[in-house]
Structure 1
Amino acid sequence: MRTLVHPCPGGFMFPLPISSRARTRLICAAMLLAYLPILDARAADAAPLDRTTAPITLVQVLQRAEAHHPLFASWRARERAAQARHLQAGLKPSPELGLTVENAFGTGALSGYTGAETTLSFSQLIERGGLLDRRVDRAAAERDLLIGAGEIARLDLRAEVARRFVHVLSDQAQLGITHQATVLAQETLDEVTRRVEAARAPLAERSRSRVSLERARLEEEHAEHELLSSRRHLAAAIGSMQADFGPAEGDLMTLPPVADFEVLLARLQAAPDVLRFASAARLRESELRLAQARRTAGLRLGAGLRRLENSDDLGLVFSASLPLFASSRERGNLAEAEAHIEQIGPDREQAMLLAQAQLYELYQELNHARLEVNTQRERVLPAVEEALEQTRFAYERGRYSLLELRNAQIEWATQHRLLIQAAAGFHGNLIEIQRLTGAPVPSPGVARAESSQP
């Protein structure tokens, strides 16, 4: 045994008769306690969670995203532009009014304006081969494809909002677990202090308990920072610069039923990501018909009135023009349009192969998460809580050591965190399945009070 003299954080000196091994642990504990004012100051600088604001549900954050996120306004503007292009494509070529002056300001008999011939003409391009209809069809197909792409972008954003909402729910639950772990560590320190004061436990146990308490507080502070960050990400997902909403309201532990894989696979066939290939095929087919129509050249007809200045006579003028070799000039456009049509089928098949594999993986992960949640709730957690209570009871009567009590408390917190992670994983996989199959409906577990929402 040696006597250790070490300064307290407040500046006092105290002698301790202590062994070499325990002395090392106490020095580490004293160093940690010396940094506590710095950690407390950093925690005070973090913005606290405003719990006075009314809780927010998943349906409400989705409504806010619809109303405020710039993506929705951007796609609405794009759709209006596509609609305008469709309107413009339906316009016929404008007639042309021309004025031609010939044989003026020359030499000899054609000097000045006396020998000039002035022609006022009117001409109109006559489009043949259904070119106008083909142009309108192409603009309509392009508009429909853009609308489909906009719907896919909206589905992606709604899924991202739902994922961020689940993340907030998970971080809220994790913060609750870390707070309970801090309470357990504080209760343990209180019990150890009573045992030390009653000379029933060594002084080192109180130091170890203090270290465990400070670690628990650090974990709680970290969990609060994680929650603040996830709330800010949720705010960004709904188009807000600030997390100006209350706690997320939902129940991660409610796991809704999911259809069989074959049913989900059938829904995948009608998902927007797959249907966009049908829109793309219509666009390519309209481009092919437009290229075919352009092979038939348009006919320009004109008529006018010509005045001869030297005789003051008037005469009618007629004109007609037809471009030559128009059919051969569209050969490359026709070949390109046909190649694009041939590309649609393989692209759709490739996308379906990837999508069904991803759907199967998500479905398996979903079922595993459900099994893990049920196992944790029904078998693991009751056993862990019973073991913690029994260990605490035995420790208070001197039959178990402090290390065994702390291990039981750590196991209790770890299993609760695993339960939260498994539940969050279930809802995350469910959101991905809903997004993949084109049905981004909030799960009842995440939005348990949504039926009253408009």
Structure 2
Amino acid sequence: MFSSSIRRAWLCAAMLGALSVPLAAATGTPDAHHVDHPGPHFTLAEALARAQARHPLFASYRAQLQAADGRAVQAGVRPAPALNLTVENAFGTGEISGYSAAETTLGFSQLIERGGLRDRRIETAAAGRQQVATDADIARLDLRAEVARRFVHVLSDQAQLGITREATGLATSTLAEVERRVAAARVPLAERLRAQISLERARLAEEHAEHELLSSRRHLAAATGSMQADFGLAEGDLLRLPPVADFETLLAQVQATPDLLRFASETRLRESELRLAQARRTPGLTLGAGIRRLETSDDVGLIFSASMPLFGAPRERGNILESEARLAQVGPEREQAMLKAQARLYEIWQELNHARVEVEAQRERVVPAVEQALEQTRHAYQRGRYSLLELRDAQAEWASQRRRLIEAASEYHGYLIEIQRLTGAPAPGPAATASSQP
């Protein structure tokens, strides 16, 4: 017969119609010496906060923004003045041998930028910084979604481990029942061997589930920027399915995501690059002044100079054409991204609705039915009306359908996280219990 604690666990699950992870943590997933869960329970909000504080991605983008600030500062620097010293008619031959006929000029020159070139450089640098900031927002959303996905994976593996442990308990109690029947000479010895094989397989499945949980915890730790999974049992209710808006509402939200807003930033950057290239068509003017001393007469005079590059406009034609083409490219790229996003959103939205239907069917009809069938099969086996094979099949179906319930719930949360990522909303994840709700 089953132990009373195992039987109470099933009846509780059947009445609740759910396998919430906090319940599994309390009754069905006790810590084993193979899997360590140091510290208090760990919520999704805490995982996201840890990622924000520890993950090197944020430090990387802070450095990139500082570099962009440096480029903006540098763009505003005006051309430096130049100090020139020129010596002419010195150390030649004949009358200009030596230094007696030399003419020494000390001059000062300054490049005057025209056409608003400095303003265009500053504008381009500012647009580039905005592009980096938008990329940082996109990376932040990607990381938050990754943390949420990894958190759901840990919740799922915790629940799966709880199911395998319950399956091991069922196999243990079945072996005990078979041994009693063998001792009473009611069944052959071969039936005990079959029960022992089932128990060994259950233990192997439990060990595999432990390894899966260890791996998923390590992946979650990496997503939060940690080398070690130094957090407690993940806490959340996989079977609590948050509602989702209708497709048209979600599609409208996609328009305001950083992924789409990035094209607006890129448009500003390309426009500023075009204006900068156009400003460079206007050549700068270099003005100079200085003092010249003639050694032969020991006289001093002032000199003035002005210079300007020729054919400046034609020389910038290629840069202007390139900037115009890159600006024209942004619009089609945005349309292409929007087409992909709306198609992907619709696909995920449909899959999410299907996952909800499956979760509800598994939770409300399938799992209660297999639990009832297993209990009836167990009673029939004890009375000799069913064989061990039929009992093992009922136990396997019971475990399979409970696992499928967890898988379907995990798929729902995975699709929901993808929708939240596409619409730019914070990653929701499974709700925590009331005591740890963020």
Q: Deviations over 1:189-215 (max 9, x none)?
A: 111111111122222111111100000
Counterpart residue number, 2:17: none
Q: Deviations over 1:42-94 (max 9, x none)?
A: xxxx9822234212111111111112111111111011001110111011111
Q: Deviations over 1:223-281 (max 9, x none)?
A: 00111111111111112221111111111111111111101000001111111111111
Is 1:112 aligned with 2:98?
yes
Is 1:90 aligned with 2:93?
no
- Within the candidate set 436, 440, 445, 2:422 is matched to 436
- Within the candidate set 95, 116, 119, 1:130 is matched to 116
User: What is the one-letter code of the residue matched to 2:127?
Assistant: A
Is 1:49 aligned with 2:31?
no
Is 1:311 aligned with 2:290?
no
Counterpart residue number, 1:380: 366
8 Å CA contact 2:108–2:289 kept in 1: the answer is yes
Equivalent residues in 2 for 1:99-248, closer than 5 Å: 99-248=85-234
Unaligned runs of at least 5 residues, structure 2 = 1-31
Counterpart residue number, 1:27: none
User: What is the one-letter code of the residue matched to 1:91?
Assistant: V
Q: Deviations over 1:304-335 (max 9, x none)?
A: 11111221111111000010000000000111
Q: Distance in 2 between matches of 1:84 and 1:435?
A: 32
Post-superposition offset of 1:450: 8.3
Unaligned runs of at least 5 residues, structure 1 = 1-45
Post-superposition offset of 1:298: 0.6
Q: Secondary structure at the match of 1:118?
A: strand
Higher relative contact order (CA 8 A, sep 6+): 2
8 Å CA contact 2:37–2:230 kept in 1: the answer is no
8 Å CA contact 2:38–2:230 kept in 1: the answer is no
Q: Distance in 2 between matches of 1:51 and 1:262?
A: 42
Q: Distance in 2 between matches of 1:247 and 1:49?
A: 10
Equivalent residues in 2 for 1:234-273, closer than 5 Å: 234-273=220-259
Counterpart residue number, 2:25: none
Q: Secondary structure at the match of 2:334?
A: helix
| 4+ long deviations beyond 6 Å | none
Q: Distance in 2 between matches of 1:384 and 1:452?
A: 33
Equivalent residues in 2 for 1:70-85, closer than 5 Å: 70-85=56-71
Q: Distance in 1 between matches of 2:211 and 2:270?
A: 51
Is 1:427 aligned with 2:413?
yes
Q: Distance in 1 between matches of 2:315 and 2:33?
A: 68
Q: Distance in 2 between matches of 1:452 and 1:205?
A: 50
Q: Distance in 1 between matches of 2:94 and 2:139?
A: 73
8 Å CA contact 2:293–2:301 kept in 1: the answer is yes
User: What is the one-letter code of the residue matched to 1:58?
Assistant: L
Q: Deviations over 1:18-62 (max 9, x none)?
A: xxxxxxxxxxxxxxxxxxxxxxxxxxxx98222342121111111
Give RMSD over aligned pairs: 1.4
Flag the 1:426–1:235 CA change in 2: closer, same or farther, 3 A.
Answer: same
Counterpart residue number, 1:67: 53
8 Å CA contact 1:166–1:446 kept in 2: the answer is no
Flag the 1:270–1:450 CA change in 2: closer, same or farther, 3 A.
Answer: farther
8 Å CA contact 2:144–2:427 kept in 1: the answer is no
8 Å CA contact 1:141–1:283 kept in 2: the answer is yes
The TM-score with structure 2 as length reference comes to: 0.91
Post-superposition offset of 1:442: 2.3
8 Å CA contact 2:105–2:292 kept in 1: the answer is yes
Post-superposition offset of 1:100: 1.0
Counterpart residue number, 2:29: none
Q: Secondary structure at the match of 2:83?
A: strand
Q: Paired residues, what number?
A: 407
Q: Distance in 2 between matches of 1:220 and 1:137?
A: 61
8 Å CA contact 1:59–1:450 kept in 2: the answer is no
